[in-house]
Chain A
């Protein structure tokens, strides 16, 4: 389980917050917080059969519905990530594909985000999306894990 984000950049913290919530409830999961560093992501990809990524995705106002994305088969669009750096999750996946370093399964939970200002708190919409994720994840895990 990889939580990606920046804890002090508004909704970009959503991936980290989601990971912390899951880590508390599912201590058996192998959890790691990342900032999106491509080398760290590729290392994490290489060390597991099934990687689950929790990350914020840029969304329209009012959107509070988390997405479940097959990271190996569904491409992320350039505008779908919320990375503060040009080398984001999407690029790390494509680089992993080129280098043959992807896990067998890669599931992305995309949490809608709206405000990525430095120092900002998470928006109410993203907090609502996180609450929905906490309902969605146990059901998803029962079906897929």
Chain B
């Protein structure tokens, strides 16, 4: 479409992204002069919605923000509330929360790998058409996801939006027999996960190396999932309650959502690529070995995030089995926690990156203030920078091919834009070369 010197590509929806948003890329000659990821929905609606609610119901409300990563929203909220109460939940309850998180990582990563991102690599417009030719791959993904769902279902009370989690622990713990059955199921999932690592590593990856500052949880002595300090590849090492002093959210003209930056530095990347690169040594040995065989140790290519997600699924299975082996149904399901006035901070690793929450409550436990920074809004600038580097390398492609490549690059981040927006419309403006 357009005149001889001007071409504009518009795609009504960027499919296979969990939610909706818009992207504008302006190209002049061989140069990308502007990349704007636009977000339309007022992202802070839920923060207002949480004010005035009981501190005990806030985690369940926060979990409703996303149907793909509700555990992350719930976990950040319960941790923040427990910090207000001055309670640290440790021992078996800490382990079981980690198990719940394993379930969510499997659910979310597998959905993305098999149904959202794989069609890009195999040359299909969507998973339905891919399934016609690659039935066994899709069946494998659905089975693996089912095993992840089983963890969340057993421990959380249902497969999505868990109802068994509360401030202080759980309402009820599963019986020993159910957990043994789950262990058998996750052994099967572990085999499927390793197959997935091998399969994803055989895909063809566009070349792209971006030296983003990588940010994740860390320094907790374990692969980051639901606790830790906030660390980065540029030397950042802060307690979670210093988040607001080190990160800034800014309103930009083209988006209603706030964009995050590291103060004094700018864009950063959070999610599997950051966790993997900064914490490789904390992975279980079989996972490290699989990574070596896959050839992705210390990868900075965002397109290889599909392999790293598969490795994290493999890790989540190994970790779930470790926790399940030591399970004792006779231990108490929760610790007592009392309301008090204060402010609590928490940051956990949602499948797509760090999820920061800050809550303030009064002495009766009523929420007086809430701040939620989802990972997708933190990755927006990194996505824009990836596209700014990628597009000039592929200007010889047709508009359709380039549009598809941009979509694939955005999906590298598995953006959960439903946390912050309505739809993603892609517009590629090549304009006249002399403009």
Q: Interface residues, chain A, CB within 8 Å of chain B?
A: 6-9, 33-40, 42-43, 78, 84-87, 91, 94-95, 97-99, 117-119
Chain B contributes a number of interface residues (CB within 8 A of A) equal to 39
Chain B residues 289 to 307 lying within 8 A of chain A, measured CB to CB, are none
CA–CA, A37 and B145, complex, Å: 10
Q: Give chain A nearest CB distance to B226 CB in angstroms.
A: 22
Given A86-B13, A86-B17, A86-B18, are A98 and B67 neighbors across the interface (CB < 8 Å)?
no
| A contact residues around B64 at 8 Å (CB) | 6-9, 118
| B contact residues around A9 at 8 Å (CB) | 64
Contact of B115 with A by CB under 8 A? yes
CA–CA, A39 and B107, complex, Å: 9
Residue of B with least CB distance to A8: B64
* Contact mask for chain B residues 6-30; partner A; CB cutoff 8 A; 1 contact, 0 none: 0000000101111110000000000
B46 touches A40 (CB 8 A): no
B65 touches A37 (CB 8 A): no
Residue of A with least CB distance to B46: A118
Instruction: Please classify the interface of chain B as helix (H, G, I), strand (E, B), loop, or mixed, using the class held by over half of its residues.
Output: helix
Chain B residues 140 to 182 lying within 8 A of chain A, measured CB to CB, are 142, 145-146, 149, 158-161
Chain B residues 108 to 143 lying within 8 A of chain A, measured CB to CB, are 111, 115-116, 126-129, 131-132, 135, 138-139, 142
A6 touches B138 (CB 8 A): no
B18 touches A98 (CB 8 A): no
- Contact partner of B19 among A43, A86, A95, CB < 8 A? A86
Residue of B with least CB distance to A34: B160
CA–CA, A69 and B279, complex, Å: 50
Residue of A with least CB distance to B16: A86
Can you list 24 A-B contacts (CB < 8 A)?
A6-B64, A7-B64, A8-B61, A34-B160, A35-B67, A35-B160, A35-B161, A37-B159, A39-B111, A39-B145, A43-B146, A85-B68, A86-B15, A86-B116, A94-B128, A95-B138, A98-B131, A98-B135, A98-B138, A99-B131, A99-B139, A118-B46, A119-B45, A119-B46
A118 touches B65 (CB 8 A): yes
Contact of B199 with A by CB under 8 A? no
B111 touches A98 (CB 8 A): no
Contact of B418 with A by CB under 8 A? yes
Given A8-B61, A94-B128, A98-B128, are A40 and B160 neighbors across the interface (CB < 8 Å)?
yes
Contact of B205 with A by CB under 8 A? no
| A contact residues around B142 at 8 Å (CB) | 38-39, 42, 99
| A contact residues around B68 at 8 Å (CB) | 85
| A contact residues around B20 at 8 Å (CB) | 86
B160 touches A37 (CB 8 A): yes
B116 touches A87 (CB 8 A): yes
CA–CA, A36 and B159, complex, Å: 11
| B contact residues around A40 at 8 Å (CB) | 149, 159-160
| B contact residues around A43 at 8 Å (CB) | 146
